[in-house]
Amino acid sequence: MSKKPNNLDTIRHISHQNLKEDYEVNEVIELTKKLISIDSSDPGAYESQIERYIYTWLTERITVSAKNLPVDVKVDEIEPLEGRRCLKATIPGTTDKAAFILLCHLDTVMLGNGWNPDTPALGAILKDGRIYGRGACDMKGGMACAMLAFSDALNEIAHRNQAPHRSISLVCTCDEEDFMRGSEAAIAAGWLTANQWILDTEPTDGYIRMAHKGRTWFELTFRGQTAHASTPWRGADAIAACAEAISYIRDAIVSLPRDAELGKTTVTFGQIKGGYRPYVVPDSCTVWIDIRLVPPTTPDDAKKIVDAAITHAEKVVTKTHGFYKITGNRPAISSHINSPLLLAICKSTQHICGEKADLKIFTGYSDSAVVAGKCHNPNCASYGPGSLEIAHKPNEYVPITDLWRVHAVFSDLLKNIMWDDS
């Protein structure tokens, strides 16, 4: 199958006006709008304010339910970076069944320019069935769905007066949009492990996504020697050497084998810096390289390509010297079609949407992929409202029908797995 699940307005035959009047939809709409209105841009405002808001929201919900809960619900925090916290709310289970984690990141990319006057970056404007604002789909809409699903789980436990068999947690991380130091800290703290079911709420266009290309970042520098541009042979052109290396790397990447699921390895030269003025032979040039790896190509293979590119460039542009450092290294992640988490999500999307969501690759890299790679956890996936194609752009938005769908799927999923026998 390749068909995208229908929007909820088609599935349920609900008009836009009815959606606006529905209490459940209004709750997820209002929470999404509130989260969008809190600036958590990275770099920029960072996560302090939104983390405080969510902490308070969760503790209030837990306090209201506490008198009817047969378990003690905990909210914990860690501070991986100064003033930038991660938080975890946990409903403990009574057995050693795999814990279930709803995983969200608190930060967004910078606010940026190009926003329409009627849909400002922090305006959280509801217009034509969409909520506009920075982070609307990446991932404050998904965070709102996760928060409300966690609250729904509290209510269900209180209603049954029965502790769940499996532990349920909501984990919110910092720094996902940069170096993912929040998820790394959560792993180090034991919050995220190899044996859990981990579902992040990235925008997925109605699909479930598990597979990710690897991501290896190089900072490649060439040193040369300055000279007057009228006598370039007296110097060593570092920019020319860098250009030779770039060309070599591009050709090498094109020749690499494809992966049946993830496609081909790609390379982007995202930033370059060097030189002084047109009439000076440049003695330094640095290029920042992003290589998205697919099996069977490994980070070691990528290093060999860059090493060979340096050797080539030094030979062509004599008296230059190249070196590099690796600034990021994430392994490729494959889908696991027999994952019990995947089966559970499919069951809930079938129930809520009328058909189970299809499985596709994720073109970016997410917090759940960090856990999958570092912990070798096969039960990591992404499912959330909105589209990755809209994320990071001006006039970012999330459809309210997506919010309803994902909130409903999350709540159904938690209800199914808290007392299941799997």
What is the reported pLDDT for 422? 58
Q: Tell me which long-range contacts 57-66 makes (C-beta under 8 A, separation of at least 24).
A: 57/147, 58/87, 58/89, 58/147, 58/150, 58/170, 61/150, 61/151, 61/154, 62/89, 62/154, 65/154, 65/155, 65/157, 65/158
The answer to whether residue 399 sits within a structural domain is yes
* Mean pLDDT score, 224-252: 98
Does the pLDDT at position 4 exceed 80?
Answer: no
Number of structural domains, the chain?
A: 2
Percent of the chain scored above 70 by pLDDT?
A: 94
CB 71 within 8 A of CB 147: no
Dihedral pair phi/psi, residue 286, rounded to 5°: -125, 135
The answer to whether residue 341 sits within a structural domain is yes
Residue 116 maps to which CATH number? 3.40.630.10
- pLDDT band for 3, please (50, 70, 90 cuts): very low
- Taking Cα atoms as reference points, which of 322, 313, 319, 321 lies closest to residue 234? 319
Q: Which of 296, 311, 330 is the last residue of a domain?
A: 330
The answer to whether residue 3 sits within a structural domain is no
The answer to whether residue 322 sits within a structural domain is yes
Q: Which of 330, 350, 385 is the last residue of a domain?
A: 330
Q: Residue with structure tokens 């709803």?
A: 102
The answer to whether residue 304 sits within a structural domain is yes
- Taking Cα atoms as reference points, which of 38, 85, 10 lies closest to residue 399? 10
What is the reported pLDDT for 66? 85
Are 324 and 337 in the same domain? no
Segments of 331-416 assigned E as strands: 359-362, 380-382, 397-399
Counting every residue written for the chain, the total comes to: 422
Are 325 and 347 in the same domain? no
Does the pLDDT at position 10 exceed 90?
Answer: no
Does the pLDDT at position 68 exceed 70?
Answer: yes
- Mean pLDDT over each residue of the chain, to the nearest integer: 93
What is the reported pLDDT for 1? 37
Whether omega before 143 lies within 30 degrees of 0, making that bond cis, reads: no
The answer to whether residue 324 sits within a structural domain is yes
* Mean pLDDT score, 43-61: 97
Are 28 and 137 in the same domain? yes
Q: 85-105: per-residue pLDDT in tens?
A: 999 999 999 999 999 999 999
Are 95 and 46 in the same domain? yes
Are 312 and 342 in the same domain? no
The answer to whether residue 311 sits within a structural domain is yes
Does the pLDDT at position 23 exceed 50?
Answer: no
Any idea which of 7-11, 311-315, 341-345, 352-356 has the lowest mean pLDDT? Answer: 7-11
Q: Which of 330, 354, 381 is the last residue of a domain?
A: 330
CB 223 within 8 A of CB 320: yes
* Mean pLDDT score, 152-160: 95
Are 110 and 148 in the same domain? yes
* Mean pLDDT score, 357-379: 96
Q: 176-204: per-residue pLDDT in tens?
A: 999 999 999 999 999 999 999 999 999 99
What is the reported pLDDT for 368? 98
What is the reported pLDDT for 85? 98
- pLDDT band for 119, please (50, 70, 90 cuts): very high
CB 176 within 8 A of CB 330: no
Are 279 and 353 in the same domain? no
Residue 118 is part of which domain span? 8-212+332-417
Does the pLDDT at position 9 exceed 90?
Answer: no
Residue 250 maps to which CATH number? 3.30.70.360
Q: Which residues pair with 105 in a beta bridge?
A: 173
Q: Find the largest Cα–Cα distance for the chain.
A: 85
Are 392 and 409 in the same domain? yes
What is the reported pLDDT for 18? 40
Q: Which strand (E) or helix (H) includes residue 187?
A: helix 181-188
Are 383 and 303 in the same domain? no
Are 67 and 100 in the same domain? yes
Are 193 and 53 in the same domain? yes
Fill in the amino acid letter for 309: A
The answer to whether residue 222 sits within a structural domain is yes
Q: 290-311: per-residue pLDDT in tens?
A: 999 999 999 999 999 999 999 9
Any idea which of 15-29, 36-50, 330-344 has the lowest mean pLDDT? Answer: 15-29
How much is the CA Rg of the chain, to the nearest whole Å? 24
Are 152 and 295 in the same domain? no
Q: Looking at the whole model, is its pTM more than 0.85?
A: yes
